[in-house]
Structure 1
Amino acid sequence: MSNAYHITGRSLILFTFCLFLASLLSGCTGHIPKEKIPGIFAPYTSATPVKVVTIPLPVIASSPNEGITAGALTAFLFHNKDDEINTLLAPQVNHNTNFGITTSLYGAFYPTPDRNVEINLSQSTRINNDYEIKLRDKTFFDKKLEVNLSTFVFSDGSSRFFGFEAKSPQQQETNYTDTEVGFNFSAGYDISRHFQLVLGERYRDVAIEPGAVKGIPYIKDQFGTSSVPGINGFATHAQRISLVYSTLDSATTPTFGGFAKLTFEPTFKALGGAADFRHYEAEAKGFIPLDNARYISVFRLMYNQTLGKNVPFLEQSILGGETTLRGYGRNRFVDNSFLLCNLEERIRLFRWEVFNVTADWEVAPFVDLGAVMEALDKARTSNFEFNPGIGFRAIVRPNIIGRVDMGVGRDGPAIFVGLGYPF
């Protein structure tokens, strides 16, 4: 049985209330002389001293894989010359039974609407670390070319594997450390007003090592070293091509429009991959507003298929976690294909201004429905997971979303705390 921790509904309400109360009582507004702002961001700030809103917050989070995390962070919100937030810095210190003390720094920089940078620097006293940089820039060729680049080095000692197929039992739960280094690059060109052609490349080098969670068997002890492709580590070097259609009114906080994406991604052993295999993916999303976008009905349909022999288990079609099936931890279900449907009603409860920062507070009841399978024609109704749940979000438009999502699956409830919409 799993020893993952869960937060009850009462604790979720308490957590949300504490977050709101801390924002009201603990924040303050100050100003920093313009000459002390790093030069790369100075042109986008005001000519006068730069306004900075400082908000200390408690950290109380839980997920099925990591367990309970508690600590504190301070959010620094920097404003530009139009009094919009264009920089977020959030140093944090927290404690987790599995990983010890973790210190981290998250930064999000939006110098212009067409260029943003995210950094995440995190180090734990036991196993876990995460160093990531993400860049998006759409200032090339009269804003028709969009470039995205992310690089990463991380170790996650909370990783889980339950076996393959839709009915992999909870009793087969194993733990391991997923250590990776790699990059993901894409260049998308607008071929018309709503269509974009995207070419991409990614590389990841994966090592599988003993995990950090006590009481759960090590993956190699339970499954052996030959029954699971990639269990001894692997590398992936893949190229991809995507066709994207979008009428969304915003890339980060959409309230209206549609989105569709078709992707083909082959991986070749001759180019450094662990095996020859192919990914096919189709995704469609829609956003339907009512009452001046106070209510937004959101849906997502997604199908993914992986074809090939000896495909590493972490490269197969995977469901579970904060962006797919929110009633389960990450990577809960693994097989050759998956079919996923997400339905969500985003309801703005109120719009509140705290220390000159305007935030929309949302509640979002949702249903996640999905299953993994060998192939689409072998999908069975009995294999689909039904995960109802509810989310709470605070949105500072146009860039910043904080969220708490709680979903319920057959293994019990799961709660996720993070930044950005789940889809």
Structure 2
Amino acid sequence: MSLKNLLLLLITALFLAGCTTMAPKENLPFPLTNQEFADPVKVVSIPLPIIASSPNEGITFGALTAFLLHNKKEEVSTLVAPQVNYNKNFGTTATLFATFYPVEDRYWEVALSKSTKVNEDFEFKLRDSTLLDKKLELNAFLFSLTDGSARFFGFQQTSQKANETNYADQETGFNLSAGYQIFRHVQLVVGERFKKVDIKHGAITKVPFIREKFDPAEVPGMDGFTAHAQKLGIVYSTLDSPTLPTWGGYARVAVEASVKRLGSSADYRHYEAEMKAYYPLMNAKFISVGRLAYNQTLGHDVPFLERSILGGETTLRGYGRNRFIDSSYFLLNLEERIRLFRWEIFDVNADWEIAPFIDLGAVMERLDKASTRSFEFNPGIGFRAVVRPNIVGRVDLGIGKEGPAVFVGLGYPF
């Protein structure tokens, strides 16, 4: 039996396996369950096919089963999702993804993924807002990954599709931050970031390797680099939820410095500003959402992956990741999240949403050199399944000048 036929058989089997069971709590030890779960534990399994297409990765298909564990309040407090995918560039990929909400305002996420060709991804995320009477928020992100689909087209907004190259982006590092509430809606944030990056041969053989088209002397970081940076920021937020907000505002300004004497490959600085707004209508059946962001990178010999970058599932959804790179970017995202209906499937209540959107953005040397002709206009539409209070599954289709892009993932894009 061919691999493709085997995957089709697996998808069919998973659909037949969807069900709700009551499992003894002793068979689901911590962190799968905790004191917030009843005994027995309600476990809902939902099988899903996976079909995705993006400019960098190409077509991916496979299947997953999501196991949703409900606490005493009938909320999904734990999600475990094993999956198997196939992509002609990376071969077969096995993935285990899990999220845990042991108590309100505490969140863990684990992702383990390994492909038969090049790709791998091992991540751990933590957010804890329960400390010091909920005035202190800690965030941690540990990662080791290799992305064999990475692309580089050159610098500036005018970089051409004809200059497309491929490489494997191999990164290991961490992001740490602590935010303390200094006023009712204002948080002071300090952060530490480290990553070691190596540039290897990628998995996309039809595209030239990056060093075949570009000179390492003209593209800092092409031979690998180290980034070690410290951040200071201020956050203002009136959002009603840190994970799935339906109303409120958010504003953030931050400066981050990378210094050679602390282990970085170069001295440079990032300046960031971001605003988001959520406005609900008709009992949140319609939620108008907008984001405005500006980023500037100043310094000499700044590694290309440390500059201001647009493209991908959270910025310009009509392009693949890292499509546009320069010293600054300006970005506007607008979308209307429309709840079509609420539907109980496999004993799980979900909001099914459609979200027409517009992404508008450009990279530039600096903001005063921006030109209206440089901006990319990416219209598109998203489809989301929302299981409150924690989980969103989404498919976003964006249209750019180089064709359509489809992104499949968890969580809202912003």
- Per-residue deviation, 1:279: 0.2
Residue identity matched to 2:35: Y
1:47 aligns with 2:54: no
Aligned pairs for 1:58-77 (under 5 A) are 58-77=49-68
Residue matched to 1:330: 321
Identical amino acids, percent of aligned pairs: 63
Please give the secondary structure, in 1, of the residue aligned with 2:34.
helix
- Per-residue deviation, 1:45: 4.1
Aligned pairs for 1:363-402 (under 5 A) are 363-402=354-393
Residue matched to 1:115: 106
Off by >6 Å, runs of 4+ in structure 1: 21-25
Residue identity matched to 1:323: T
Cα distance between partner residues in 2 of 1:214 and 1:381: 35
Cα distance between partner residues in 1 of 2:362 and 2:300: 21
Once the two structures are superposed, residues 176-206 of structure 1 have per-residue CA deviations (whole angstroms, 9 ceiling, x without a partner) of 0000000000000011110000000000000
Instruction: Compare 33-42 and 64-73 and name the one that shifted more.
Output: 33-42
Residue matched to 1:343: 334
Residue matched to 1:97: 88
Once the two structures are superposed, residues 85-125 of structure 1 have per-residue CA deviations (whole angstroms, 9 ceiling, x without a partner) of 10000001111100011101000001112111000000001
Once the two structures are superposed, residues 187-238 of structure 1 have per-residue CA deviations (whole angstroms, 9 ceiling, x without a partner) of 0001111000000000000000111001100001110221101000000000
Residue matched to 2:215: 224
Residue matched to 1:124: 115
**Partners of 2:337 and 2:353 within 8 A in 1:** yes
1:29 aligns with 2:34: no
Aligned pairs for 1:264-275 (under 5 A) are 264-275=255-266
Label 1:415 to 1:40 Cα distance change in 2 as closer, same or farther (>3 A): closer
Aligned pairs for 1:274-293 (under 5 A) are 274-293=265-284
Cα distance between partner residues in 1 of 2:50 and 2:13: 11
Structure 2 segments unaligned to the other structure (5+ residues) = 1-10
Label 1:135 to 1:185 Cα distance change in 2 as closer, same or farther (>3 A): same
**Partners of 1:263 and 1:280 within 8 A in 2:** yes
Please give the secondary structure, in 2, of the residue aligned with 1:44.
coil
1:404 aligns with 2:374: no
Please give the secondary structure, in 2, of the residue aligned with 1:155.
strand
Matching residue within 247, 255, 258 for 2:246: 255
- Per-residue deviation, 1:356: 2.0
Please give the secondary structure, in 2, of the residue aligned with 1:112.
coil
1:415 aligns with 2:406: yes
Residue identity matched to 1:86: S
1:176 aligns with 2:167: yes
- Per-residue deviation, 1:243: 0.2
**Partners of 2:14 and 2:64 within 8 A in 1:** no
Cα distance between partner residues in 1 of 2:225 and 2:92: 30
**Partners of 1:98 and 1:213 within 8 A in 2:** yes
Once the two structures are superposed, residues 39-83 of structure 1 have per-residue CA deviations (whole angstroms, 9 ceiling, x without a partner) of 345433433200000111111111110111111111100011111
TM-score, normalisation: structure 1:
0.94
Matching residue within 69, 75, 100 for 1:78: 69
Cα distance between partner residues in 2 of 1:390 and 1:164: 28
Structure 1 segments unaligned to the other structure (5+ residues) = 1-18
Cα distance between partner residues in 2 of 1:24 and 1:347: 27
**Partners of 2:289 and 2:337 within 8 A in 1:** yes
Matching residue within 156, 161, 186 for 2:152: 161
- Per-residue deviation, 1:23: 10
Cα distance between partner residues in 1 of 2:195 and 2:315: 22
1:209 aligns with 2:200: yes
Residue matched to 2:7: none
**Partners of 1:23 and 1:354 within 8 A in 2:** no
Residue identity matched to 1:183: F
- Per-residue deviation, 1:32: 1.1
Please give the secondary structure, in 1, of the residue aligned with 2:102.
strand
Cα distance between partner residues in 2 of 1:295 and 1:42: 34
Cα distance between partner residues in 2 of 1:92 and 1:45: 27
Residue matched to 1:7: none
Residue identity matched to 2:179: G
Residue matched to 1:15: none
Residue identity matched to 1:77: L
TM-score, normalisation: structure 2:
0.96
Matching residue within 265, 288, 294 for 1:297: 288
- Measured on the aligned residues, the alpha-carbon RMSD in Å equals 1.5
**Partners of 2:359 and 2:378 within 8 A in 1:** yes
Once the two structures are superposed, residues 296-323 of structure 1 have per-residue CA deviations (whole angstroms, 9 ceiling, x without a partner) of 1111000000000000000000000000
Residue identity matched to 2:385: A
